[in-house]
Amino acid sequence: MTTTVIGVGLIGGSMALDAKAAGFSDRIVGVDSNRTHGEIALQRGIVDDIVNLEEGVRMADVIILAVPVSVAATLLPGILDIIAAGAVVTDVGSTKRALCDAVRNHPRRGRYVPSHPIAGTENSGPSAALHGLFRNKLGILCESGACDPDALSRVKHLYTVLGMRLLFMEADDHDRHVAYVSHISHITSFVLATTVLEIEKSTSTIFDLAGSGFESTVRLAKSSPDMWTPIFVQNAQFVCEALDAYIKNITAFRQMVASGMSADLSRTMEDANEIRRVLAGLNGKPAENTGPGQERR
């Protein structure tokens, strides 16, 4: 089976590595507008060949669209126009409604399986691709009722060999939920980094004072603006909804601090500690109780 990966960066490159290693694909073909990325992908053995878009699409049994979501929405209709009979197209974008809308009335809509592997790092490009990135992570498949059964089955198989757990959602539900659990996290990190850089003009002071808490919170601010700008724009409705809720809570927290409301602050933070249970469930581990006043480093 030939798999064409359009965009051989962190996600596309990591999928290519494990799809080949697991025997899902006999041949991995790469398509990338960045010539340097293509050369790195070849040198690292992520892909067997680099070709142009039309050639890569026409020869593929499976096409993985791993480019920024704004680019994906533009490319997807034309890809469906020229795919081989029986070929399947999926994507890895963090928003789904715009992509689904772009091909909702396309005669080959059933060959497209909208998907989103919930995995990644703050790094980008083929140099960041790695084996095992998706193992035990969640893979979301959207609008499965609009997909041809064999196409859906093939993408399910791909995600299974990557070691992912599967969840099925509608596009709007997906976009709303990821706005809260993913997109708002990146926005918070970007804004925190901007705020600190505005206030602390001396980078040496940042390095001297920054501990593990700051580093982990601001880590996502190293993420690619080229990838995240179109995500925020495409998902503006739900991102703004999440931001409104976040701003309401942070404004209330500021008021508690300004008014010296110790009991309310303590209660708010105790309520927030419930996130341990949620995170433990995501990781399949029992929740840890660090006890009052203790901080895990």
32-75 tens-digit pLDDT: 999 999 999 999 999 999 999 999 999 999 999 999 999 999 99
Stretch 225-253: mean pLDDT = 93
pLDDT at 282: 59
Q: pLDDT class for 193, splitting at 50, 70, 90?
A: confident
To the question of domain 174-259 being in CATH 3.90.1150.10, the answer is no
Q: pLDDT class for 292, splitting at 50, 70, 90?
A: very low
Answer whether residue 297 shows pLDDT above 60.
no
pLDDT at 287: 40
pLDDT at 276: 82
Answer whether residue 199 shows pLDDT above 90.
no
271 vs 288, more confident:
271
What's the Cα-to-Cα distance from 64 to each of 6, 24, 60, 89, 169, rounded to whole Å? 6, 13, 10, 6, 19
- Each domain of the chain, given as residue ranges in start order, spans 2-169, 174-259
What pTM value is reported for the model? 0.81
Question: Domain 2-169: which topology?
Answer: Rossmann fold (3.40.50)
